[in-house]
Structure 1
Amino acid sequence: MENERCELIIMETSDLHGNVFPINYRDNEEVNAGLAKIATIIKSEREKNQYSLLIDNGDVIQGTPLTYYYAKFLPEKKNPLVNLLNDLNYDCAVIGNHEFNYGSELIQAAVNESQFPWLSANIIIGETKESAFGPPYLVKEFENGLRVAVLGITTHFIPNWENPNHIVGLQFEDALACAKRWIDYIQKNEDYDLLVVSYHGGFERDLSTGERGEAVTGENQAYAICHEIEGIDILLTGHQHRMIADTLNGVTVVQPGYNGQALGKVKAVFEKFEGKWALKSCSSQLIEVDHSVQADPHILKMTEKYEKDTQIWLDQPIAKIIGDMTISDALEVRLGDHPLIEFFNHVQMDASGARISSTALFDNRSRGFQEQVTMRDIVSNYIYPNTLKVIRITGQDMKDALEICASYFMLDKDGEIQVNPAFAEPKPQHYNYDMWEGIEYEFDIRNPIGERVVKLSIKGDPVQMKVEYDVVMNNYRAGGGGNYNMFKDKPVIKEIQTDMTELIANFMLKRKTIYASCDHNWKVVR
């Protein structure tokens, strides 16, 4: 007599970043992404499988003009993304780092509206050791008696990036240490047949070779989780925006990209022995969105009013540009001063009163500003809800930061300029290359990394290494984000809590006409 068998599928979304409609907000062209298309796949998988579990792995309520417009103008209404997760009957979600971007009130409201638990065992309230937003784990029992335990954890690097006002009273425990403790607890105190860890974090090493793929920071610990903790059957990951379906040290792992490009799927097959389910096999795959996948009309209808209001807002005219602020080549922007970057720095200096500023080109798809500027143009070119800080740093700190920037470039064997793979793999981090205003500097990238800053002055006078300077930058960088550790814990002279997109819009609305300028205060020598 054959043993009784059953199959369970676990579906994962991660890093949706507020993408519902399958469009690019720059021009409203259709793209193969978004929760509306993912919903079609989810429903199809449920029709084919009797037993399923649906988990969101974090970074879901922030990231598009839709979510920004909701957060700024409609926070008293239901959260559009939570509405959809409720409608799709998610079993649970994990807190991602970007969940905090719109402030503590909005994330708490989202949690309160959710008809599913938010898990994150390592985000705790003060010294209480209580999970801040929901239980650290859940155990779901199906009608056939199969029991699945799901532990949720989040990268503990959030304090390095987030506005401190958004995380008041919270502590972020080391994700690896927390996972070890809670898995030990679950193993001793719960009856289950499958152990799943959903981790809003990624892999710090290459899965096949074990070679370290990033600086030793602790931001991503998935490789260590698979190797140092016994008993995990499945590890759902995210944060790095990678496409992964693999096995690592006997653990089935998956990561489904970002913006709803794919649904992560794990199939677990069980057989019953002596009245208890036993895992016989486990495999992962990515179901990618393509043109054959139609957006779910019900999901679109549920979000229609939010989207319509967002689109009207995006098309509001803001200002007129005199001169050229367009971008045709992102690399060229980073090789020498550009009017768009100079404009961003001028907005920061105007808002803060600081005489030195740094910013980045956050997205290689940015196209700059045409003659007529709308809100759509602003949010397409400045894509993050950053606030600003003025911090006090030494000349040495400034030079060290510029050396990190200079490491962005490499020369190939033919002397052609390339982007250092450290800024492109495993996750593109072009936003970690800053460009400064208020100082004059040059990089000679023919020199070894760490010795490339060959000029650094202010109004013609050399920057003094021990002298202190006040610099305005975004809150992410001011906290040391991007491995700019020289900025961490520096004195904060001033904070500007208004988002940069609002500062840019207000700057333009006040002046109506903006003149493109470029003082060529810096360049890259090659």
Structure 2
Amino acid sequence: MTSPQSVVLTILHTSDIHGHLYPTDYRGPGDKPLGLAKLATLIRRERSQTASLLLLDNGDFLQGTPLMYHYAKFDRSGVHPAARALNALRYDAVVLGNHEFNYGLDLLDQAISDSNCPWLSATITRTTDGQPAYGQPYRIFTPVAGIRIAVLGITTPYIPNWEEPAHIEGLSFEDALEATARWVAHIRANENPDAVVVCYHGGFERDPATGAPTEPLTGENQGYAICERLAGDIDVLLTGHQHRLLAGEVNGVVIAQPGSAGQAMARVELEFEPRPEGGWTLRRKGARLLMAEEADTADEEFLSLFVDDEQRTQHWLDQPIGRTEGDLSIPDPFIARQADHAFTEFVNRVQMAVTGAELSCAAIFTNEARGFGDRITMRDVVSNYIYPNTLKVVRLSGRDIREALEQNARYFEKDESSGGLRVSDAYLEPKPQHFNYDMWEGIDYVLDISKPVGQRVVKLERGGIPLEPDDHFTVVMNSYRAGGGGNFDMLKNKPVMREIPTDMTEILADFIRESEVVQAGCDHNWKVIY
């Protein structure tokens, strides 16, 4: 219960909006329980009911919807849509996420300069002098009664494993745990804060409830280690990146993570009590999630800022660019991942055609992917290929390829209740990772899920001849996978034979336009058995 003399501060925290301003996923009609316009309704409600409020975003704002893609690739007029959103809702600070770099530094610099609030990151520095590359590492806020709130921005250092080198030229990425420890010590020693809030575009490498490891300790996510090492030094850890819905406490540190695409927002409450000698003591703290579905309607005043952008985007999405002959639809993505399918064969064939690579691998990114119908529009392309990946051709050995296929085979588990297959928990927790299961073209292979993990590739041939460990091939894949993303360490640091700097969505669209008619084909070069 709040004492008469205490002061309560509310922190609202969004993360991984991924360009979702409207309550839509752009795949079809209908109002969805997501998007910043829905959260804007909740933000305005909170402002009307709360005397003291900080509004923070935790990154991955600039990429993820056709609206943001269209602006980045074809428009760039006026204030960046992300900055318009941040300014309209009066955000106090934003942390840089890994996807902020997807469209290059020029667009990122524009979004930052267009924003009225600071962008923070203590872990992203200039290679030349080691100084923070974007504004400042932290900001001190005094929202009420002289109470000093330190907000430290931290970004996952794993970005060089995913991003195009040209998009991060001149930048260095520091370990999140070490940077947080150093900067928190600096803040405690020099700023006399009443509370320290760490906004971390990264997640948890361990289960927040049990501490059990949930992923390889690569340094991509270090939230649990931060709570362990800095318990007592930080008060709140606001996280993101993993798209999880979390609110609770780890080692006395209040934690929150509000999913993605504007499906939720974290609400943190800090209660301060005055000390007799002056100053404040943090007496109580807690976090909960506010779901977008709690908003009856999207904020129309907010959406009015993006009407022209949305109209241009919708017109672009509905442009017909080609048609199909044969079946390129995906009625069930799970079934399509169990044997060669016409749609993935098409994507792989396009990748091989534009690069000249001998082999190719590609994924069905989400369970919402539905392939192509008789008529293909840009909406179909961006709905199926949702990431702004470019292509790389790397030189792999037969040993590398076998290891990559064994990693793919971990996607499946035997479902003992039905006798069939299911997606393994490792690919569902802490978030669905269907994008980390690849299907290959140019080789013939069989994955047997009844075999032990690591021994599931029971056939691996090319032209009827088994692949030897020391054979070498050129393989085209997306830039994320070529960097080892998705626990494909065997693909990291391989010789790059060729790079295609064009987004894969543009490559697919151009191929379809030039072909006019896409013929469905499938050579049935691989399958999964159990």
TM range (shorter): over 0.9
Alignment map for 1:260-279 (pairs within 5 Å): 260-273=262-275, 274-279=277-282
Is residue 49 of structure 2 the alignment partner of residue 45 of structure 1?
Answer: no
Is contact 1:156-1:219 (8 Å) kept? yes
Alignment map for 1:55-454 (pairs within 5 Å): 55-229=56-230, 230-273=232-275, 274-290=277-293, 292-414=295-417, 415-454=419-458
Aligned residues: 525
- 2:196 is paired with a residue of what secondary structure? strand
Q: Point out where structure 1 has 5 or more consecutive residues left out of the alignment.
A: none
User: Which digits, 9 at most, give the CA deviation of each residue in 1:257-290, with x for residues without a partner?
Assistant: 1100111000111111122111110010101111
Is contact 1:3-1:271 (8 Å) kept? no
Partner of 1:483: 487
User: Which digits, 9 at most, give the CA deviation of each residue in 1:355-375, with x for residues without a partner?
Assistant: 210000001111110000000
Instruction: Give the Å deviation of 1:293.
Output: 2.5
CA distance in 2 between counterparts of 1:263 and 1:407 reads 33
User: Which digits, 9 at most, give the CA deviation of each residue in 1:170-203, with x for residues without a partner?
Assistant: 1100000000000011111112111100000111
Partner of 2:520: 516
- 2:406 is paired with a residue of what secondary structure? helix
- 1:185 is paired with a residue of what secondary structure? helix
* Structure 1 pair 79–502 and aligned structure 2 pair: CA distance change class (3 A): same
Instruction: Give the Å deviation of 1:292.
Output: 4.4
Which residue identity lines up with residue 233 of structure 2 in the other structure? G
Which residue identity lines up with residue 416 of structure 1 in the other structure? G
The RMSD of aligned alpha carbons is: 1.0
Instruction: Give the Å deviation of 1:459.
Output: 1.2
- 2:152 is paired with a residue of what secondary structure? strand
Instruction: Give the Å deviation of 1:291.
Output: 6.3
- 1:306 is paired with a residue of what secondary structure? helix
Is contact 1:19-1:259 (8 Å) kept? yes
CA distance in 2 between counterparts of 1:474 and 1:140 reads 41
* Structure 1 pair 143–282 and aligned structure 2 pair: CA distance change class (3 A): closer
CA distance in 2 between counterparts of 1:4 and 1:95 reads 37
Is contact 2:42-2:295 (8 Å) kept? no
Which residue identity lines up with residue 352 of structure 1 in the other structure? T
- 1:301 is paired with a residue of what secondary structure? helix
CA distance in 1 between counterparts of 2:114 and 2:29 reads 29
CA distance in 1 between counterparts of 2:100 and 2:11 reads 23
Instruction: Give the Å deviation of 1:128.
Output: 1.2
Which residue identity lines up with residue 257 of structure 1 in the other structure? G
User: Which digits, 9 at most, give the CA deviation of each residue in 1:445-494, with x for residues without a partner?
Assistant: 11001001011111111112112110000000001111111111111100
- 2:41 is paired with a residue of what secondary structure? helix
Instruction: Give the Å deviation of 1:143.
Output: 4.6
CA distance in 2 between counterparts of 1:50 and 1:292 reads 21
Is contact 2:58-2:201 (8 Å) kept? yes
CA distance in 2 between counterparts of 1:56 and 1:435 reads 36
* Structure 1 pair 342–256 and aligned structure 2 pair: CA distance change class (3 A): same
CA distance in 1 between counterparts of 2:253 and 2:447 reads 45
Is contact 1:394-1:466 (8 Å) kept? yes
- Name the stretch that deviates more: 314-323 or 225-234: 225-234
- 1:53 is paired with a residue of what secondary structure? strand
CA distance in 2 between counterparts of 1:250 and 1:104 reads 38
Which residue identity lines up with residue 339 of structure 1 in the other structure? A
Partner of 1:17: 18
- 1:23 is paired with a residue of what secondary structure? coil
Is contact 2:54-2:143 (8 Å) kept? no
CA distance in 1 between counterparts of 2:478 and 2:397 reads 18
Is contact 2:256-2:266 (8 Å) kept? yes
CA distance in 2 between counterparts of 1:228 and 1:137 reads 20
Instruction: Give the Å deviation of 1:315.
Output: 0.2
CA distance in 2 between counterparts of 1:413 and 1:441 reads 25
Give the TM-score taking structure 1 as reference length. 0.98
Instruction: Give the Å deviation of 1:413.
Output: 2.3
Which residue identity lines up with residue 243 of structure 1 in the other structure? L
Runs of 4+ in 1 over 2 A off after TM superposition: 412-415
Is contact 1:244-1:255 (8 Å) kept? yes
* Structure 1 pair 382–29 and aligned structure 2 pair: CA distance change class (3 A): same
Partner of 1:28: 29
Is contact 2:205-2:224 (8 Å) kept? yes
Instruction: Give the Å deviation of 1:3.
Output: 6.6
Is contact 1:61-1:82 (8 Å) kept? no
Partner of 1:467: 471
Is contact 2:39-2:295 (8 Å) kept? no
CA distance in 1 between counterparts of 2:339 and 2:245 reads 33
CA distance in 1 between counterparts of 2:321 and 2:132 reads 44
User: Which digits, 9 at most, give the CA deviation of each residue in 1:311-338, with x for residues without a partner?
Assistant: 0000000101000011111111110000
Percentage of matched positions with identical amino acids: 51
Is contact 1:3-1:272 (8 Å) kept? no
Is contact 1:62-1:68 (8 Å) kept? yes
Is contact 1:15-1:257 (8 Å) kept? yes
Instruction: Give the Å deviation of 1:24.
Output: 2.3
User: Which digits, 9 at most, give the CA deviation of each residue in 1:92-128, with x for residues without a partner?
Assistant: 0000001111111111111111111111100000041
- 1:20 is paired with a residue of what secondary structure? coil
- 1:348 is paired with a residue of what secondary structure? helix
Which residue identity lines up with residue 269 of structure 1 in the other structure? E
Instruction: Give the Å deviation of 1:11.
Output: 0.4
CA distance in 2 between counterparts of 1:61 and 1:293 reads 26
Instruction: Give the Å deviation of 1:227.
Output: 0.7
CA distance in 2 between counterparts of 1:50 and 1:161 reads 42
Which residue identity lines up with residue 369 of structure 2 in the other structure? S
Instruction: Give the Å deviation of 1:77.
Output: 2.8
User: Which digits, 9 at most, give the CA deviation of each residue in 1:21-58, with x for residues without a partner?
Assistant: 11120113210110111011011101111101000000
Which residue identity lines up with residue 509 of structure 2 in the other structure? A
CA distance in 1 between counterparts of 2:83 and 2:469 reads 50
Q: Point out where structure 2 has 5 or more consecutive residues left out of the alignment.
A: none
